[in-house]
Structure 1
């Protein structure tokens, strides 16, 4: 799979974070562009959490014009997740052990292999940054993640497969372009179907921890708005934002 038409590519030896670089570059970009950093000095995850990113791991951001409503832009996290799952399966040579954890993680053998972070840049009419981090060679120590969270894993120790960041970017960019075209043409439904087919713990009991409450119920589906739907004995809950614990 070659590099997709219409997408720029920028490979940096080092940067503070690829999402920060995307914010700096966005005003001068005419179209979507991938930014890959071979080393990050100040990587970030969700809610401002530090993201441990040693050299050899994958750190990239896709920055693209944001010409849609915020709720539709947010669905790009599912486009990115399905694309990343399939790119990893391609470079590994198998999708065995890979699964997607709502809202934005890729799991390998039950451990967290990758995370996705969406950020809005410049307000309405600005840009969207889709940041992606993958533990290709090393994972954070278990003690560096919050209690109860999925333990981090890395690709090489888990599978014996060595993949360079550049090789993963090539697989990911081509796959993302295909799913993005599907999303813009047919809407969220085919992406939602593809995501659910790769989902971890679908039909099982999970716990969603929001800023206000904790809900434990059966993971029933993801709805048309991208919300996690949990069924409890009392009700069905559509959850827009939460950390999910198994």
Structure 2
């Protein structure tokens, strides 16, 4: 699989976190770069939560300097989700069981197989952190109540994928989706994401630090916000944890 020409590739044996390594390396990078670690000792998920990342699973961060306004830059979580979907379907040979969960997870047979973490870096940098359970899923006891159960690619498909092969597939898929995003804007990305979305039409719960909103998952709007149809009307939610 060809590596996209404009992206650097760094594979490390071990780091604390690929997002932290991206922040350390950003000033010395001439362009966008993928940083992949075969092992992480202090991986992080959303809201600073610990992310279990045993050897054999996939951990990588794309570091770049986007030029758009922050609200547009944030939409790259959808670009990343689509790229993950594309890469996993290519490597396993099927799209069966794959779905995208707002705001930043990939599901396989209903379980969480991958997560995405976007973090702003100094001087306009962006870190797109991605973790994929290739061979092992975290212990469910480590999860918060009602969280989607984790699964691995190996357990669900029987396909064993090496991290570096995942990196190559993901980088190529990202380059294609990123070019579409930059060229045509969010509309096409949104349409593709919605075509792969989990639980559209179902009643779900969106929880923030202050409140819970329960409603029918109607769509994602033109700014990437979750749209729920609730008894009190349509609600647009910019950021939340979603529970089925």
TM-score of the superposition, structure 2-length normalised?
Answer: 0.99
Partner of 2:83: 83
Shift of 1:126: 2.1
Partner of 1:193: 191
**Deviation readout 1:39-63 (Å, 9 max, x if unpaired):** 0000000000000000000000000
Counterparts of residues 179-218 of structure 1 (less than 5 Å): 179-218=177-216
Counterparts of residues 3-42 of structure 1 (less than 5 Å): 3-42=3-42
For residues 28 and 168 of structure 1, the distance between their equivalents in structure 2, rounded to whole angstroms, comes to 25
TM-score of the superposition, structure 1-length normalised?
Answer: 0.98
Counterparts of residues 126-165 of structure 1 (less than 5 Å): 126-165=124-163
**Deviation readout 1:215-246 (Å, 9 max, x if unpaired):** 11010000011000000121101100000000
Partner of 1:67: 67
For residues 21 and 31 of structure 2, the distance between their equivalents in structure 1, rounded to whole angstroms, comes to 16
Shift of 1:100: 0.4
Partner of 2:104: 104
For residues 82 and 163 of structure 1, the distance between their equivalents in structure 2, rounded to whole angstroms, comes to 19
Partner of 1:167: 165
Partner of 1:2: 2
Partner of 2:114: 114
For residues 145 and 86 of structure 1, the distance between their equivalents in structure 2, rounded to whole angstroms, comes to 27
Runs of 4+, deviation exceeding 2 Å: none
Q: Number of aligned residue pairs: give it.
A: 244
For residues 188 and 66 of structure 2, the distance between their equivalents in structure 1, rounded to whole angstroms, comes to 21
Is 1:48 matched up with 2:45? no
1:103 counterpart SS class: coil
Structure 2: any 5+ residue segments left out of the alignment? none
For residues 126 and 194 of structure 1, the distance between their equivalents in structure 2, rounded to whole angstroms, comes to 28
Structure 1: any 5+ residue segments left out of the alignment? none
**Deviation readout 1:139-193 (Å, 9 max, x if unpaired):** 1111110010000111101111000001111111001001100000000000000
For residues 98 and 144 of structure 1, the distance between their equivalents in structure 2, rounded to whole angstroms, comes to 23
For residues 169 and 18 of structure 1, the distance between their equivalents in structure 2, rounded to whole angstroms, comes to 13
For residues 147 and 17 of structure 2, the distance between their equivalents in structure 1, rounded to whole angstroms, comes to 24
**Deviation readout 1:189-217 (Å, 9 max, x if unpaired):** 00000100110001111000012211110
**Deviation readout 1:21-75 (Å, 9 max, x if unpaired):** 0000001112100000000000000000000000000000000013221101100
For residues 66 and 174 of structure 1, the distance between their equivalents in structure 2, rounded to whole angstroms, comes to 18
